[in-house]
Amino acid sequence: MLLEVKDLNTHYGPSHVLQGVHLEIGEGELVALLGRNGMGKSTTLKSIMGMVKPTSGSVKFEGQEIVGLPPYKVARAGIGYVPEERRIFPELSVLDNLMLGIKDGKIRNPNDPNTWTIERIFHHFPKLAERTHQAGGRLSGGEQQMLSIGRSLMGNPKLLLVDEPSEGLSPIMVQEVRNVLEEINKAGVSVLLVEHNLKVALSLAKRVYLMSKACIGCQASAQEVRSNHELRAKYLEA
Amino acid sequence: MDPMVSMYISQGIHGIAYGMILFLIASGLNIIFGMMGILNMAHTAFFMLAAYFCYVVVGITGNFWLGLVFAPLFTAVLGVVMERVFLRKAVGHMGELILTMGISFVIVAAIKKIWGTESLPLQMPEILSGMVNIVGVSYPVYRLFVIGLALVILVFMMLLLYRTRLGKIVRAAVSDRDMVNALGININMVFMFVFGVGTWMAGLAGVAIAPILTVFPGLADQVGMDAFIVVVTGGFGSLAGAFIVSIIFGLLSSYGVQFVSQFAPVLMVVFMAIVLAFRPNGLFGVKE
């Protein structure tokens, strides 16, 4: 297993927002984490990333315990984070945003075709290439999403945590972002995807975790979620 | 040249030199506030401490230049120690505020204990002590030196912030430090560096002003308050705002003394009040 989360608990003050979350992601897998709003999907990603300190539990990445580490160490272990709000640096240019994603400012093995470099990012995101020197804050929502994904890829992660990438985007951009995630996954990067757009999530993921009330309610295949009405009614529909 | 005109010009130079010193202090305050959200109340105490360090270095070596190099460095080291040992443990912005205020009291008390309350003269080096004649107006060399020094630091800071990876990290962290951290960058090291540079700049200002005003325990209050007013008026977190307002304040204070001496001390405060009445976040401040 690439990532093993066991019995993860997180509190925000007195509220117990993650109550014993279990999940696993294999090498090269794209797994979706679904559920209604407020069930703790984003908190799960943040807790794995170390942006929120879990109160107990275990997060193993490539067999190493990483729970409780500060975010920069989790990132260095090989996990990239694409946050819900995209959080690109508005004053920096597109190029500088991407450059900050490079760990220690140096790309290891730049000639390996599997390594993410600026050229490779621009190849996957031609729109960003056109805006190399524009300030990140002046991009459209979709372009900012591309930039946020590209920026994490520059750190050459083995696993990408992606939070609501299609939120607030036009249908065309949603499709583009979906395709990019598929390409990235085909290129060997594992993905844990939080996504409210069921169609997008199920078209990408083979395996799905359904979250309810601060823990994982059940695990299913994308096929089951598609065909099983009860499952959808229980976990997803408002 | 008309003596009146030359008087205006030389008063202007005085004002700009003072403005540059304010800028050195205010930009350090600003960059620390902008990135870490910490309003460092001990900043001006560090500024004053550097003047004393310089006094000691010059006393031992007889060399002002050594003081200019080492006093700000010592100050920066103390600033970094304060950040690492104390500030990181402070809880919330109120905790930071009270902690830095306490540290500033400790520094001022220590200064009075060690060096007393007298004004200690700091001799400027011979080469900077005369007047220089440019197109019929004579200027004090030292003030020109202060202006030059501040401009060099300004250019250095700009290059650092806009041309280096470290500077880009700092600029990114001003807008979103958690995201910088999530990219694999050790944000605590960056904070330490920023704090060091900020106090180093305050230290440079302390050394630069010492030969003009002498070294005394009221230095922090006298100049420090002006620097805080600069930051508030220019807008928290804005270097451009700090620069422009520093120059305006420098000129206000030197022409103020010249023409309306009894009102000179309040001119800056009046200016601040007018600016804040129309732009509550300062001239270049952004809304939170």
Residue B288 has pLDDT above 60, yes or no: no
Judging contacts by C-beta atoms under 8 Å, the chain A residues touching residue B180 are 100
Q: Is B46 exposed, middle or buried (0-12, 13-18, 19+ CB in 10 A)?
A: buried
Q: Cα dist. B227→A2, B26, B272 in Å?
A: 53, 5, 12
Locate the chain B residue with the closest alpha carbon to A76.
B184
- Interface check for A157 against chain B (CB to CB < 8 A): the answer is no
Residue B287 has pLDDT above 70, yes or no: no
The pLDDT of residue B89: 86
Question: Quick one: pLDDT band at residue A183, thresholds 50, 70, 90?
Answer: very high
For residue range B232-282, list pLDDT tens digits in order.
999 887 788 889 999 999 999 899 888 888 887 788 889 999 999 999 888
Q: From chain B, pick out residues whose CB is under 8 angstroms from the CB of A87.
A: 176, 179
CA-based nearest residue in chain B for residue A106: B165
Q: Among residues of chain A, what percentage have pLDDT more than 70?
A: 99
Q: B123 near B64, Cβ under 8 Å?
A: yes
CB contact under 8 A, B179 and A90: no
Q: Please report the residues numbered 29 through 58 in chain A whose beta carbons come closer than 8 angstroms to any beta carbon of chain B.
A: 49, 51
Contact A72 B178 (CB under 8 A): no
Please say whether the beta carbons of B124 and B112 come within 8 A: no
Query: What CA–CA distance (Å, rounded) separates B181 from B37?
Result: 16
Please report the pLDDT score of residue B181 as a whole number.
95
B168: chain A residues, CB-CB within 8 Å: 92, 96, 99-100
pLDDT, greater one: B285 or B151: B151
Q: What are phi and psi of A154, to 5 degrees?
A: -60, -20
Could you give the CA distance from residue B64 to residue B209 in angstroms, rounded to a whole number?
13
Contact A194, A223 (CB under 8 A): no
Q: At what angle do helices B165-175 and B3-36 cross, to 10 degrees?
A: 70
**B141 vs B144: CA distance, rounded Å:** 5
Which residues of chain B are within 8 Å of residue A150 when distances are taken between CB atoms? none
Q: Which of B171, B175, B183 sits opposite A155 (nearest CB)?
A: B183
Which SS3 state, helix, strand or coil, does residue A238 take? coil
Q: How do residues B70-93 score in pLDDT, each as one tens digit? A: 999 999 999 999 999 998 888 888
- Lowest-pLDDT range, A77-86, A166-175, B130-139, B242-251? B130-139
Residue A22, chain B, CB below 8 Å: the answer is no
Average pLDDT over residues B146-154: 92
Radius of gyration of chain A (CA): 17
Cβ within 8 Å, pair B183-A152: yes
Shortest CA distance from B189: residue in chain A: A72
Please give the residue range of the domain that contains residue A147: 3-235
Predicted confidence (pLDDT) per residue in B100-146, tens digit: 999 999 999 999 999 999 999 998 888 888 888 877 778 889 999 99
Query: Could you say which of B165, B175, B179 has the minimum Cβ distance to residue A105?
Result: B165
Tell me the chain A residues in contact with residue B182 when contact means C-beta distances shorter than 8 Å.
Answer: 49, 51, 71-72, 74-75, 81, 83
The closest alpha carbon to A132, from A91, A94, A92, belongs to A94
Nearest neighbour of B186 by CB, restricted to A72, A99, A100: A72
Number of C-beta neighbours around residue A95 at 10 A: 17
Give the C-alpha separation, A57 to B50, whole Å.
Answer: 49
Element (H, E) at A160: strand A159-163
Say which range, A31-45, A210-224, B170-184, B232-246, has the weakest mean pLDDT: A210-224
Number of domains in chain A: 1
Indicate the helix (H) or strand (E) that contains A64.
strand A64-65
In contact, B13 and B143? CB cutoff 8 Å: yes
Give the Cα separation of B246 and B18 in Å (integer).
Answer: 8
Rounded mean pLDDT of chain A?
Answer: 91
Of all residues in chain A, what percent carry a pLDDT higher than 90?
68
Nearest CA in chain A to B185: A72
Residues belonging to chain A: 238
Q: ipTM of this predicted complex?
A: 0.91
Which range of A75-84, B125-134, B167-176 scores highest in mean pLDDT? It is A75-84
Contacts of B171 in chain A (CB under 8 A): 89, 91-92
Among B164, B169, B181, most A C-beta atoms within 10 A, so best to mutate, is: B181
Give the sign of the dihedral formed by CA A204, CA A210, CA A211, CA A215.
negative
Over residues B189-248, the pLDDT tens digits come to 998 999 999 999 999 999 999 999 999 999 998 888 889 899 999 988 778 888 999 999
A95 part of contact set with chain B, CB < 8 Å: no
Give B26 or A110, the one with higher predicted confidence: B26
Identify whether the C-beta of residue A154 lies closer than 8 Å to the C-beta of residue A116. yes
Map chain B to HEC letters. CCHHHHHHHHHHHHHHHHHHHHHHHHHHHHHHHHHHCCCCCCHHHHHHHHHHHHHHHHHHHCCHHHHHHHHHHHHHHHHHHHHHHHHHHCCHHHHHHHHHHHHHHHHHHHHHHHHCCCCECCCCCHHHHCEEEECCEEEEHHHHHHHHHHHHHHHHHHHHHHHCHHHHHHHHHHHCHHHHHHCCCCHHHHHHHHHHHHHHHHHHHHHHHHHHHCECCCHHHHHHHHHHHHHHHHCCCCHHHHHHHHHHHHHHHHHHHHHCCCCHHHHHHHHHHHHHHHCCCCCCCCCC
- Per-residue confidence (pLDDT) for residue A128, from 0 to 100: 93
Q: Identify which of A227-236, B249-258, B279-288 has the greatest average pLDDT.
A: B249-258
Query: What pLDDT, on a 0 to 100 scale, did the predictor assign at position A88?
Result: 95
How many Å lie between the alpha carbon of A4 and the closest alpha carbon of chain B? Answer: 20
CATH code of the domain covering residue A139? 3.40.50.300
Q: Residue A115: which region, alpha, beta or left (left: phi > 0; alpha: psi -120 to 50)?
A: beta
What does the pLDDT read at residue A118?
93
Give the pLDDT score at B35: 80
Q: How many CB atoms lie within 10 A of CB B42?
A: 26
* Average pLDDT along chain B: 90
Asked if A72 lies within 8 A of B181 by C-beta distance, the reply is yes
Taking the C-alpha atoms of residue B96 and residue B38, their distance in angstroms, rounded to an integer, is 7
> Residue B1's pLDDT is what?
67
Paired tokens of B224:
């420090």
Q: Check if A101 contacts B (Cβ < 8 Å).
A: yes
> Taking 80 as the threshold, does the pLDDT of residue B285 lie above it?
no
Q: Are strands B131-134 and A79-82 parallel, antiparallel or unpaired?
A: unpaired
